Amino acid sequence: MNAQIPPVAPTVQPVMRTTCPYCGVGCGVLASPDGAGGASIAGDPDHPANFGRLCSKGSALGETLGLETRLLHPMARGRDGRMARADWDTAIGSIAQAFGKTIETHGPDAVAIYLSGQLLTEDYYAANKLAKGFLGTANVDTNSRLCMASSVAGHRRAFGSDTVPGVYADLDEADLVVLIGSNAAWCHPILFRRLEAARAMRGTKLVVIDPRRTATGDEADLFLPVNPGKDTVLFAGLLAWLADHDALDHAYIDAHTTGLADTLAGARAMAPDIAAVARETGVSAADLVQFYTLFATHERAVTCYSQGVNQSAQGTDKVNAIINVHLATGRIGRPGMGPFSLTGQPNAMGGREVGGLANQLAAHMNFTPVEIDRVRRFWQAPRLAEREGLKAVAMFEAIAAGRIKALWIMGTNPAVSLPRAGAMREALESLDFLVVSENVASNDTLSCRPHLVLPALAWGEKDGTVTNSERRISRQRAFLPPPGEARPDWWAIAQVGRRLGFDEAFAWRSAADVFREHAALSAFENDGSRDFDLSGLAMLDDAAFNIMAPVQWPVRSAGDSADKRFFADGHFFTPDHRARFVTPKPARLARETSTDFPFILNTGRIRDQWHTMTRTGLSPRLGAHLPVPFVEIHPSDATKLGIEHGGLVSLRSAHGSAVVEARLSVGQKRGALFAPIHWSDATSSNARINDLVARITDPVSGQPESKATPVAAMALPVRYRGFVLSRRPVTELPATWWAKVALEGGAGYLTATDLGPEEWKRHTAKILLTSDYAEYVDAPGGVYRAAAFDEAGALTGAVFLSPSGAPASWDGLKALLAARTLSSVGRRNLLSGRGEGQITPRGPLVCACFAVSAPQIEQALASESGADVARLGQLLRAGTNCGSCVPELKKLIRQRAMLDMATITPPA
C-alpha cells in the first residue's frame, strides 16, 4: 500500500465533502473518487467537528468501498424457499400487500419498522411518517434504543425535551472534564484528541469513572474504578457533598428548577457519608474526596457520558443523577460547562429529531392530544398513531409472541445486536412477513429467512443529512453512483406509501424534498415552544441543500449559522419552563451474580471496529488491531480458573453462550469481565456476545442492561490453534472455533480445534480449493501446514495448525496473500511460518493508520531512550494521524522507562 492517507490531490473527479458514517462525533470527510469505484479519504479541515482529523476507522473508509459484499438487486423468497432476484416493482407491491393485509386482519400494531442510527435523517423521517401517519402504528423503533435511549429519557425528564445543552467547544473551554461510562479514547477518538489538546493548552483536569481501566482511564488525572451499576451513588454523593460544601447555585436553582429538596434528600439517603459511598462504589474515600473537591472548585466542568451510563436498567436515573449536579450548580449551557451525552452512532441524533423512536411522535413532539392533532394536520394523515409503540426489546418480544406479524428492518443487524440475540433469530424466522433493507448480501439477520431483501445505498452513495452529538447537522453526500439497483431507503418507503394509495404524502423526488418537509414540520406551529426548530432551513432550494454547510440546530431563521447552547438562560421546555430534579431509585444491578454466574459481563466496542463489522470488517488495517473476539479478565481471576492469556474461554449466562479468547488485564476489576460486541456468526463461530445479555430494560427508556450480565467463565482447552489464509472466503473449516478477519488480498481465519494434523490433512484440498499444494507435516509434533500457489507462483491460501501451547504467528505470512509474486526462497521457507520480507515478527498492530506494530515501537524506544510520543511520530509516523493509539504509545513509553530504570538499578 502507498501512504495510508493520501493528500487530497487535484483530480479529474471533484473532491466531495461528506460526513463519516461511524460514531456520533460526526467528522467531516473529504472523499476523492478514483473513478473506479474507490476513493481516497481525508479529514475535512473546515468541518467544526474534527478540523481535518480522522480516527483509524474513518481513515480506513476507502478500504471499505468495494462492491464484493454488496446486495445489488431486490431478492424475494420463492415458493421453493430460495431467494431469487426480483424487480423493484414487484418488491414494493409485495410489501404494500403484506403490510396492508396484516393491518386489515390484525390491526396496525401487528406491523412494525425497526430502524438504525446509520440511516440518514431523510430515511428516518420517511419511515416514521409512513408508520405513524399512514400505517397507524407507533411500532417504529431503532437500534438507537440500544445506544442512547436513556439519555433521551433523562433529557426529557429534566429538560422537558431531548436537548443536548452543550457544544464540542465546551471541551476546549472546560477546566474539568469528567468522563463516565465512556472509553472516548477508543470510541470517540477525535473528541478525545480535542480534549487532550485542551489539556495540553490549559491543563484541563480529566476524571474518568469506569468499572474498567480503559485506554481512556489510563490518561486520567484521577481514575475512579466504580463498581458496576453504582454510578448513581457516586453522583448522589457528589450532590450531597456540593450541598454540604456550599457549592450549589441557589440563584439558578430557585429561578429555573423544581424538586431539589426531594432530590437532595434522596441523595443523602443514598449517600449518607463518604465512607458509605466508598463502600458502595468501590472507590476509595480519598479518591472520592479528591473528585468531589475538583468538581466543587472547578466551575467550568463538563460531564461526558456514554454507553456505560445509557446501557443500563437504571440508565435514565444515571443520566438524571449527572444532570442533577449540573442543574444544582447552574453549570449548564455556558462555555465549558454542562452534561454531555456522547452518542454512539452517526445519526442517532437525526433519528431522535424526526421522532423515529416508538415513544416519540415526530420532530420532538410527543403523544399529547395537541401534538397528535398538530402532526395529523401537517401530514394530513388518515390514521395517525395516538399512543406510544413498542420499544425495541418489547417489539421483538411481541414478534416472538406472534403479536407483530410483519416487520421491516432497515440498516441494522438485530440478530447480532439485540439482547438474547440467539432467541431473536427464531423470532425473526417466525414472522409472516420480514423485509430487510440492507447493503450487504449476507449477515446474521439476512440468515433469518426474510421474505424480501431490498438493496440499500451505502455510505458514499447516500445523499442526505446526519446530526452529531452536538446537534450539528451535516450533509452526507454521494460521491459514487448507486450500484446495481440499490436505491435510497426514503425512496423505497415512499414507493410503498404511494402503492398504499398515499401519492401526495409521499411525492418526494429527492432527499432535499424530504429534508424541507422535515424542517417544515419542526417549524410548524413552533414559535419557540419546541427546542427542535429548523425554520431557517425549510425553504432551502436544491442548490442550497447541496452546498449546505454544517449547522447547529435550532436554526430559527434563514442564514443562522451560529453555534448555540441551551439553558444558560434557564428556559426549559417543560410546561412551567423549569428544569426538574429527578430522584434516582436505589442503585442496583438488575441481576446480581450468583454461584452459578459469578462474573459480571460488561460489553462494548473496540478501537478499530464498528458494530457488527459489516463495513469495518472489510478493512485489513482495522482488523489488525484486535483480530479475534476476546474477553478481558483480571489475572488473578484467570489463574483461579486456569485461564491463560490467549487461551479460549467459554462464557455462559442464563440465556446464551459464547467462546472467545482470554486477554488478561489488570485494568479489569476482579469479578468483572469485558467482551466486545462486534463479532457475529459471519465473523466468528460462536462469539455473539449479545446472545448472553438478558432482555432486562430500563423502565423509562426501554434500554437494555447490556453491560452487567451475570455470567460464568470457564477455560476451554483445545489441543490445536491455527489459522487459514485464503484469497477466497472459506466455507468449510474443520475447526471447533474460528474468527474471520479481512486481510490484504483475502481473508484470514484464526482457528482452534481438537482435530490434529491427520484430520486437517484430509480437509486441506477443500479449504485451499486445489489438490496441488505444498505441505509441512510434523504429526508427532502436532504441526500441520499447507500452502497453495497460483500460476505465477503467488500465495493463494495457507493452512497452519500448531499445538495450543506453541501457536504459529501469521504476521510474517499474511502480507504474502496480497503479493503478486513470491521468490523461490520465499516459497521454500513459507511453510516455516516466516514470510518473505516480513521476517521480523511484527506483533500486534498499534497504529492502524500507518501499520506500526508494537515490536517496531519497542525497537525505536530501545534505540532512542527518552523518545516521547512526538518523537515516535517523527520516527515511525505512529500516532500522527488519528491519534487513537497515543494512549497505547504512552503505555509502551512507560513500560520502556520502567525497563530502563530496572536495568540501571544495581541489584540489591
Whole-angstrom distance, CA of residue 82 vs CA of residue 90: 17
Rank residues 533 and 836 by Cβ distance to other proteins and give the closer one. 836
Rank residues 269 and 862 by Cβ distance to other proteins and give the closer one. 862
Rank residues 189 and 833 by Cβ distance to other proteins and give the closer one. 833
Residue from 72, 222, 777, 818 touching other proteins (CB under 8 A): that is 777
Neighbours of 825 (CB within 10 A): 9
862 binds other proteins (CB under 8 A): no
Rank residues 429 and 775 by Cβ distance to other proteins and give the closer one. 775
Binding span for other proteins by CB under 8 A among 156-164, 581-589, 712-720, 832-840: 832-840
CB of 774 to other proteins, least distance (A): 3
CB of 839 to other proteins, least distance (A): 5
Question: Do the Cβ atoms of 648 and 629 come closer than 8 Å?
Answer: no
Rank residues 560 and 759 by Cβ distance to other proteins and give the closer one. 759
Residue from 839, 862, 870, 898 touching other proteins (CB under 8 A): that is 839
Whole-angstrom distance, CA of residue 415 vs CA of residue 432: 17
Question: Do the Cβ atoms of 190 and 29 come closer than 8 Å?
Answer: no
In sequence order, the 6+-apart residues with CB closer than 8 A to the CB of 470 are 26, 49, 164, 166, 167, 168, 552
Strand-pairing partners, residue 435, are 408, 452
Question: Do the Cβ atoms of 29 and 41 come closer than 8 Å?
Answer: yes
3-state helix, strand, coil in the chain (%, to 5): 35, 20, 45
CB of 831 to other proteins, least distance (A): 6
Binding span for other proteins by CB under 8 A among 263-271, 339-347, 351-359, 771-779: 771-779
Rank residues 13 and 809 by Cβ distance to other proteins and give the closer one. 809
Q: Which of residues 444-483 bind other proteins (CB under 8 A)?
A: none
CB of 183 to other proteins, least distance (A): 38
Whole-angstrom distance, CA of residue 793 vs CA of residue 789: 5
827 binds other proteins (CB under 8 A): yes
Residue from 775, 792, 864, 866 touching other proteins (CB under 8 A): that is 775
Does 554 sit behind a cis peptide bond, omega within 30 degrees of 0 on the bond before it?
Answer: yes
How far apart, in Å, do the first and last CA atoms of the chain sit? 51
Residues 646-685 as x/- pattern, contact with other proteins by CB under 8 A? ----------------------------------------
51 binds other proteins (CB under 8 A): no
CB of 829 to other proteins, least distance (A): 6
CA-wise closest residue to 28 among 43, 9, 11: 43
Residue from 832, 844, 866, 895 touching other proteins (CB under 8 A): that is 832
Rank residues 104 and 775 by Cβ distance to other proteins and give the closer one. 775
Half-sphere exposure of 380 (CA within 13 A, CB side): 6
Rank residues 483 and 793 by Cβ distance to other proteins and give the closer one. 793
Whole-angstrom distance, CA of residue 810 vs CA of residue 794: 17
CB of 811 to other proteins, least distance (A): 15
CB of 856 to other proteins, least distance (A): 13
772 binds other proteins (CB under 8 A): yes
780 binds other proteins (CB under 8 A): yes
Rank residues 338 and 812 by Cβ distance to other proteins and give the closer one. 812
774 binds other proteins (CB under 8 A): yes
CB of 769 to other proteins, least distance (A): 15
What 8-state DSSP symbol labels residue 599? E
Measured over the CA atoms of residue 190, residue 192, residue 198 and residue 199, the dihedral's sign is negative
Question: Do the Cβ atoms of 399 and 431 come closer than 8 Å?
Answer: yes
CB of 777 to other proteins, least distance (A): 5
Whole-angstrom distance, CA of residue 148 vs CA of residue 140: 16
829 binds other proteins (CB under 8 A): yes
Question: Do the Cβ atoms of 825 and 836 come closer than 8 Å?
Answer: yes
CB of 783 to other proteins, least distance (A): 7
Rank residues 243 and 774 by Cβ distance to other proteins and give the closer one. 774
Q: What is the enclosing helix (H) or strand (E) of 895?
A: helix 886-904
Cell 453491560: give the residue.
Answer: 707
**Residue 807 amino acid letter:** P
Whole-angstrom distance, CA of residue 654 vs CA of residue 739: 24
Rank residues 669 and 785 by Cβ distance to other proteins and give the closer one. 785
**Residue 569 amino acid letter:** D
Cell 531512550: give the residue.
Answer: 865
**Residue 877 amino acid letter:** R
Rank residues 251 and 839 by Cβ distance to other proteins and give the closer one. 839
821 binds other proteins (CB under 8 A): no
Strand-pairing partners, residue 474, are 466
Residue from 840, 841, 844, 864 touching other proteins (CB under 8 A): that is 840
Residue from 3, 36, 543, 825 touching other proteins (CB under 8 A): that is 825
Angle between helices 392-400 and 421-429 (to 10 degrees): 50
Whole-angstrom distance, CA of residue 630 vs CA of residue 660: 5
CB of 331 to other proteins, least distance (A): 58
Residues 614-643 as x/- pattern, contact with other proteins by CB under 8 A? ------------------------------
Residue from 191, 589, 831, 851 touching other proteins (CB under 8 A): that is 831
Whole-angstrom distance, CA of residue 119 vs CA of residue 352: 12
Q: What is the enclosing helix (H) or strand (E) of 19?
A: strand 16-19
805 binds other proteins (CB under 8 A): no
Binding span for other proteins by CB under 8 A among 179-187, 413-421, 708-716, 778-786: 778-786
Rank residues 289 and 777 by Cβ distance to other proteins and give the closer one. 777
Integer-rounded Cα radius of gyration of the chain: 27
CB of 862 to other proteins, least distance (A): 15
Cell digits of residue 41: 479519504
Binding span for other proteins by CB under 8 A among 19-27, 663-671, 827-835, 843-851: 827-835
CB of 610 to other proteins, least distance (A): 36
Number of residues that bind other proteins (CB under 8 A): 26
CB of 797 to other proteins, least distance (A): 13
Question: Do the Cβ atoms of 831 and 774 come closer than 8 Å?
Answer: yes
Half-sphere exposure of 430 (CA within 13 A, CB side): 14
Q: Which of residues 783-802 bind other proteins (CB under 8 A)?
A: 783, 787, 789, 793
Binding span for other proteins by CB under 8 A among 509-517, 684-692, 704-712, 820-828: 820-828
Rank residues 731 and 771 by Cβ distance to other proteins and give the closer one. 771
Q: What is the enclosing helix (H) or strand (E) of 121?
A: helix 121-129
Residue from 654, 657, 776, 855 touching other proteins (CB under 8 A): that is 776
Q: How far is CA 825 from CA 196, 273, 785, 828, 835, in A?
A: 48, 71, 17, 5, 10
Question: Do the Cβ atoms of 119 and 489 come closer than 8 Å?
Answer: yes
824 binds other proteins (CB under 8 A): yes
586 binds other proteins (CB under 8 A): no
Rank residues 528 and 781 by Cβ distance to other proteins and give the closer one. 781
Does 635 sit behind a cis peptide bond, omega within 30 degrees of 0 on the bond before it?
Answer: no
Instruction: Give the β-pairing of 16-19 and 28-33.
Output: antiparallel
828 binds other proteins (CB under 8 A): yes
**Residue 173 amino acid letter:** E
CB of 731 to other proteins, least distance (A): 25
Neighbours of 297 (CB within 10 A): 13
Binding interface with other proteins (CB under 8 A): 772, 774-781, 783, 787, 789, 793, 806, 824-825, 827-829, 831-834, 837, 839-840
